[in-house]
Structure 1
Amino acid sequence: MHYKKSGTFLYVFLSVFLCFFSSAHAKQQEVVVYTALDQIFSEPILQEFEKRTNIKVKPVYDIEAVKTTGLVNRLIAEKSNPRCDVFWNNEIVRTIALKRKGILTPYQSPSAADIPASFKDKENYWTGFAARARVLVVNTNLVKPEDYPTSVEDLANTQWQGKAAMANPLFGTTSTHVAALFATLGPEQTTRFLKQILANTTHIVDGNSVVRDMTASGEVPFGITDTDDVNVGIISGMPITAVFPDQAGKGTLLIPNTVSLVANSPNPEAGRKLIDFLLSKEVEAKLAASESAQIPVRKDVKTPEGGLAQADIVAMEVDFEKMTDYLDESTKTVQQIFMK
């Protein structure tokens, strides 16, 4: 009798323990996010989401030299067996390219309701938020304000021969910029311009932050990079400033972050929750107030004093779908010109 009671007690104990363990385990969600936004800016946002939701975030960050492209290629390679739930890209054309390859799945986030239609996919495959601008970074010790370069075309101006720097145009936002030029100027004019940049002995380097650092050190008086890189440099005391190019002409290119849900992902429910969080006004405000000084796509998101707002910039008029149409051609052209 004693043994029977003991056995019954043990059975009940184990049953309760297993039920508790299973319940606790079931409540523990996780989400895998691939992000091309610099870790220093994206990590605090992801940590805040994890803290609020108790959903374990497993981030995979990009590296500077192959910005964006590395994660895009990984997503393509994993198409038949997705490991990522959410793709947080720091640009847009390769996100659209992933949609066209069947890598993404639609999700209409309630957080995106007040995001302008121009920053949303009509079929809800991606949503844009928190933009950066492509700017000229200038060394303030080497160049007087009246002599600042004012146009992207100054990269090919013989006045600046051998005195400018640009990130490898195969990757990151520089690649996006080339696609934008193909879409707005046309392939012929853009190809000619790229050849002129190379002929002007412009330094081609491994990333936008390298462009900034070369400019700050005086190795070159100016270069082309993104607003976040310049702002971080200014905060750290570098003798640099940002010039928004072509404000009297075609305007400055704005490139939004984009977020999308991966098709057949392992944790779609958690993925949708993360997307809702990333597309909130709060996150746009946080990115605007951070050292990256990102530009809200919503007009009613307040920026800090000295921060950047769309209203302050003459933006280049672009068609993101058309830019993506030209992506393969622009990439091949860059390879032919710069990778000989």
Structure 2
Amino acid sequence: MSWLRVGTLLAVLCLGCATFLAACASGSDGRSAKTVVVYTSVDQMYSEPILKDFEEQTGIRVQAVYDVEATKTVGLANRLLSEKERPLADVFWNGEILETLRLKDEGVLAPFESPSTEGIYPQFVDPEGYWAGIAGRARVILVNTDLLSPEEYPESIYDLLDPRWPAEQVGIAYPMFGTTSTHAAALYAYLGEDKARAFFDGLAERGVQVVDGNSVAKDLVAAGRLAFAMTDTDDACAAIKAGRPVTAVFPDQGDGGMGTLVIPNTIALVRGAPHPQEAQALIDYLLSEEVERQVVKLGWSHLPVRPLAVEPECFDVGGVASMNVQYEALFDWLEPSRSELAEIFIR
């Protein structure tokens, strides 16, 4: 074989290898392989199907980092803080809002614009563009229907103070943690420090049952050990779907009532995202009506943050009034309220 023929054969082989490698770097439909990295505190059973749908629709591969139950949102937020100078994530999909606000405050997030925010109620879109919300959970009073008749159901958070119901039959989770802490900060922002402090002082002095989390409160009501307790819609819905003798009351819905706190999912762009175009595509998708409808149908959240024709499991949410509170003001009250409440409930 002549050197000319050998050289020609090598050239053909090199061209074939290059073609093969290029094909490996592309999707089966010929599109270049693209990737987006999302950190999400939304339970994997709910978030993974949505992210897989995005992959199928766009051809963009999603690398998802899910939370660990023991640390939940705080763990992912701390990870994003530790990666601030060399970010690995592109998008943060948070099942609540306060850690998103903390990341904004720490300079971890970047502003963005998305056509998918059109139609979302203004209180669920950051005016500075650092986050936007989709369907939220709400605070509810979970009632044991074996212990109370409908005319005896509480209607307001202030009914936790009412002596008509014995203190040992009324419960809340520790208000320094989780969404109960978020709710407490909202009350400080809405009512003012003096009235909010008086409310929690009243709970402590009355001796209502203070338990280790919303799921514990839910279980105690479902078991008939409490007549009613504050919890979130996701916990309440779990008890309802399990066939327990419970119902949920959205508090303070009457004329002049403060409404109930709605805690939205939040979507945010990480500053210095390694894949900015793919991040924008994922943000547009997650904020879409299609995804919000799916989140509600899956049962993770129950209250859409825009006019949306979808009926969630467990509840009739039509006309539910939410608290008129700015989330930035709520964030400002988070640490001060936690400090005060620790003085009240941890002695």
For the criterion TM > 0.5, the same-fold answer is yes
Deviation at 1:5, TM superposition (A): 2.6
**1:196 paired residue among 182, 202, 217:** 202
The residue identity in structure 2 corresponding to 1:232 is: A
2:29 match? none
| Correspondences of 1:64-143 after superposition (within 5 Å) | 64=69, 66-143=71-148
Q: Determine which of 325, 335, 341 is the counterpart of 1:334.
A: 341
1:68, 1:171 within 8 Å by CA — same for their partners in 2?
no
* Cα distance in structure 1, aligned partners of 2:160 and 2:132: 32
Deviation at 1:188, TM superposition (A): 2.6
The 3 A distance-change label for structure 1 pair 30 and 250 is same
Shift of 1:327: 2.0
- Which SS does the other structure have where 1:312 is aligned? coil
How big is the shift at 1:261?
0.5
Aligned-partner residue type, residue 254 of structure 1:
V
> Shift in Å at residue 63 of structure 1?
4.5
Instruction: Decide whether aligned partners of structure 1 residues 60 and 240 sit closer, same or farther in structure 2, where only a CA change above 3 A counts.
Output: farther
1:323 aligns to 2:330 (yes or no): yes
In structure 2, the gaps of 5 or more residues are 27-31
* Alpha-carbon distance in structure 1 between the residues aligned to 2:343 and 2:18: 62
Distance 1:305 1:83 in 2: 35
The C-alpha deviation readout for 1:28-50, integer Å capped at 9, x for no partner, is 22222222223332222222212
* Alignment correspondent of 1:183: 189
Could you report, residue by residue, the CA deviation over 1:164-221 in whole angstroms, capped at 9, with x for unpaired residues? 3433434432222111111011123223323333442423214x33332232122322
Paired with 1:331 and 1:79, the residues of 2 have a C-alpha distance of 26
Aligned to 1:215: 221
In the alignment, structure 1 segments of 5+ residues that lack a partner are none
Question: Aligned residue for 2:61?
Answer: 56
SS in structure 1 of the partner of residue 247 of structure 2: strand
**Counterpart Cα distance in 2 of 1:6 and 1:209:** 73
d(CA) in 1 for partners of 2:68, 2:225: 24
Q: What letter corresponds to residue 295 of structure 1 in structure 2?
A: L
Alpha-carbon distance, 1:227 to partner: 1.5
Cα distance in structure 2, aligned partners of 1:3 and 1:209:
77
- Tell me the CA shift for residue 306 of structure 1: 7.0
Q: Is the 8 A contact 2:142 2:221 kept in 1?
A: yes
The CA RMSD measured in Å over matched residues stands at: 2.5
Render the CA deviation track for 1:68-92: whole Å, top value 9, x for unaligned.
3332222222212222211112222
Q: 1:81 to 1:198 in 2, by over 3 A?
A: farther
The verdict on how the C-alpha distance between 1:197 and 1:71 changes in structure 2, with shifts beyond 3 A counting, is farther
Classify 1:39/1:217 alpha carbon distance in 2 versus 1 (closer, same or farther; 3 Å): farther
Q: Is the 8 A contact 2:297 2:312 kept in 1?
A: no
The Cα of 1:119 is off from its aligned counterpart by: 1.6
SS at match of 1:114: coil
TM-score using structure 1 length:
0.89
Cα distance in 2 between the residues matched to 1:165 and 1:326: 23
What per-residue deviation string (whole Å, max 9, x for no partner) do you get for residues 228-253 of structure 1?
22223222322211101111221111
User: Do the aligned partners of residues 273 and 307 (structure 1) sit closer, same or farther apart at CA in structure 2, a change above 3 Å counting?
Assistant: farther
Kindly indicate whether the alpha-carbon contact (under 8 Å) linking 2:141 and 2:230 is maintained by their aligned counterparts in 1.
Answer: yes
Bigger Cα displacement from structure 2, 21-30 vs 323-332: 21-30
Give the CA deviation at 1:310.
6.2
